[in-house]
Amino acid sequence: MYVSYLLDKDVSMYPSSVRHSGGLNLAPQNFVIPGAVLAAAYGAPLREDWNGYAPGARPAAANAVAHGLNGGSPAAAMGYSSPADYHPHHHPHHPAAAPSCASGLLQTLNPGPPGPAATAAAEQLSPGGQRRNLCEWMRKPAQPSLGSQVKTRTKDKYRVVYTDHQRLELEKEFHYSRYITIRRKAELAATLGLSERQVRPLQGLWTARDRLCEGLGLLRSEGTSFAGEGGTGARAEHSPFFLDTFFTISFFPLPFHVQVKIWFQNRRAKERKINKKKLQQQQPQPPPAPQPPQPQPGPLRSVPEPLSPVSSLQGSVPGSVAGVLGPTGGVLNPTVTQ
Q: Which residues bind DNA (CB under 7 A)?
A: 51, 55-56, 58, 126-128, 130-132, 152-155, 157-162, 167, 179, 182, 200, 255, 257-259, 261-266, 268-270, 272, 308, 310, 324, 326-335, 337-338
Least distance (Å) from DNA to the CB of residue 159? 4
CB of 19 to DNA, least distance (A): 20
Nearest to 317 by CA among 257, 262, 264, 258: 264
Least gap, CB of 82 to DNA (angstroms):
27
Q: Measured from the CB atom, is 154 or 281 closer to DNA?
A: 154
Q: Which is nearer to DNA, 243 or 313 (CB)?
A: 313
Q: Are 195 and 260 in contact (CB under 8 A)?
A: yes
Least Cα distance to 29 among 68, 64, 1, 63 occurs for 1
Q: How far is the CB of 209 from DNA (least distance, A)?
A: 18
Nearer to DNA, 47 or 95 (CB): 47
Query: Least distance from C-beta 326 to DNA, angstroms?
Result: 4
218 and 39 in contact (C-beta within 8 Å)? no
By beta-carbon proximity to DNA, the closer residue of 22 and 334 is 334
Q: Which CB sits closer to DNA, 230 or 323?
A: 323
Query: Between 81 and 320, whose beta carbon lies closer to DNA?
Result: 320
Q: What is the DSSP string of 76-90?
A: HH--B-S-TTS-TT-
Q: 3-class DSSP state for residue 92?
A: strand
Amino acid letter for position 299 = P
Quote the least distance from Cβ 95 to DNA, whole Å: 29
For DNA, the closer of residues 188 and 213 by Cβ is: 188
- C-alpha closest to that of 65 among 28, 109, 96: 109
Rounded Cα distance, 196 and 187, in Å: 9
Q: Contact, 220 vs 239, CB < 8 A?
A: yes
What one-letter code names the amino acid at 194? L
Residue 289: CB minimum distance to DNA, A: 27
What is the C-alpha separation between 283 and 253, in angstroms, rounded? 47
Q: Is 298 left (phi over 0), alpha (psi -120 to 50) or beta?
A: left
